[in-house]
Amino acid sequence: MNDDPMNQNGNNNINVDMNFFNHLPFIRVNGHLVSLIDLSDEHIVKMNDMEKQDYIRTAQQLYATVFDI
């Protein structure tokens, strides 16, 4: 196996553990739970103020965890 992060074509090889997506938090949108992976702009406009605050806090925590800041 080639451990070089660049393959022969010069493309980056990126490995993503698909279990990562199964463990993303759910966010409440208009009283319903939506997976963070499925969340889009159309969901955000339906959030009340408390749901938006929860979404922002969750996103900040996830960002800090993933990027270890």
What count of other Cβ atoms lies within 10 Å of the Cβ of residue 47? 18
Break the chain into its structural domains and give their ranges: 19-67
Q: Which long-range contacts (CB under 8 A, 24 or more apart) does 41-46 make?
A: none
Can you give the pLDDT at residue 56? 92
Mean pLDDT confidence for 54-68: 87
Cβ contacts of 5 within 8 Å, gap of 6 or more: 12, 13
Q: pTM of the entire structure?
A: 0.61
Task: Report percent pLDDT > 70 for the chain.
Answer: 70
CB 52 within 8 A of CB 30: no
C-alpha to C-alpha distance for 62 and 24, rounded to whole angstroms = 9
* Model confidence pLDDT, tens digit, residues 20-52: 677 788 889 999 999 888 888 899 899 999 999
Where is pLDDT greater, at 18 or 31?
Answer: 31
Can you give the pLDDT at residue 45? 92
